Amino acid sequence: MTPTLGCRPAWARDAVFYQIFPDRFARSERVAKPSNVRTWSSPPTPQGYHGGDLWGIIEHLDHLVDLGINAVYLTPIFQSACNHRYHTHDYYQVDPMLGGNEALRSLITAAHARRIRIVLDGVFNHASRGFFQFHDILENGPDSAWLDWFHIHAWPLVPYDGGRPANYTSWVNNRALPKFNTDNPAVREYLMQVGEYWIREYDIDGWRLDVPVDIRTPGFWEEFRSRTRALKPDLYLVGEIWREAADWLRGDRFDATMNYEFAAAAIAFAGGDRVSKALVSNRSYRPFPGTDAAGYAQRIEQLQSAYGWETTLVQFNLLASHDAPRVVSIARGDKATLRLATLLQMTYPGAPCIYYGDEIALRGAKRYDRPHRDPDARWPFPWHDTSSWDRAMLGYFRELIALRHACPALRSGAFHQLHAKGQQYVCLRRDDSDTLLVAVNAAESPAELRVPVSPHLVDGQPLAAVFGSETHATVAGQHVQLPVPARSGAIWRAIRQ
Which residues does the annotation mark as catalytic? 210, 240
What does the alpha-carbon distance between residue 125 and residue 130 come to, in Å, rounded to a whole number?
A: 15
Choose among 356, 357, 375, 355: nearest CA to 365.
375
Are the CB atoms for 124 and 79 separated by under 8 Å? no
Amino acid in position 24:
R
Q: Which of 488, 468, 412 is nearest to 4 (CA)?
A: 412
What is the rounded CA–CA span in Å between residue 467 and residue 431?
19
User: By the 8 A CB rule, do 463 and 475 touch?
Assistant: yes
Decide: helix, strand or coil at residue 237.
Answer: strand
Q: Could you give phi then psi for residue 12, rounded to 5 degrees? A: -65, -25
- If you write DSSP's letter for every residue of 175-235 in order, what string do you get? TTSBBB-TTSHHHHHHHHHHHHHHHHHH---EEEESSGGG--STTHHHHHHHHHHHH-TT-
Under a CB-based contact definition with an 8 Å cutoff, are residues 438 and 414 in contact?
Answer: no
Q: For residues 337 and 331, is the Cβ–Cβ distance under 8 A?
A: yes
